[in-house]
Structure 1
Amino acid sequence: MTEITWEDPFCGEGASCFRLGTDTTGNAYIAVAGQEDHYLTDTREALRTLIHDIKAGKADHLL
């Protein structure tokens, strides 16, 4: 199994908190905080773009 290094949770104004993680092979992961065993994976750049868009208010409904 891949070893994922998780960052501190990012929490929006609501109750949802997400965590981002990376592995040594260049993959990125996103999961709901506390449920890191159920995650989505993609390239670091794709998930970075998603998070920047969420923080910019382009996808408030996701939080």
Structure 2
Amino acid sequence: MPDITWEQPFCQDSGNCFRIGTDAEGNAHIAVAGREEHRVTDSVEALRMLIRDIKAGKADHLL
């Protein structure tokens, strides 16, 4: 497992808490808080775009 620096959890109104982290290789990771071993890993820009799309309502079916 890569050495990941995790940010503090981000919790939505419904109580779903997510964490975003980065590793030394420039990859970004997003996971449900407490379940970091089951994470999505991609480039920082790809995960940034995913978060923007979710906030814009384009991908709300994923939540």
- In 1: Cα distance, 2:14 partner to 2:23 partner: 28
Q: Which runs of 5+ in 2 are unaligned?
A: none
Q: Structure 1-normalised TM-score?
A: 0.82
TM-score (structure 2 length as normaliser): 0.82
Q: Which moved more, 1:51-60 or 1:32-41?
A: 51-60
**What's the CA shift for 1:17?**
0.8
Is the alpha carbon distance of 1:14 and 1:62 closer, same or farther for their aligned partners in structure 2, counting shifts above 3 Å? farther
- Structure 1 position 62, deviation (Å): 4.0
Q: CA deviation at 1:56?
A: 3.4
One-letter code aligned to 1:17:
C
Give 1:37's aligned residue: 37
Aligned residues: percent identity?
68
Where in structure 1 are there 5+ consecutive unaligned residues?
A: none
Displacement over 6 Å in runs of 4+: none
Aligned residue in 1 for 2:48 = 48
C-alpha RMSD of matched pairs (Å): 1.4
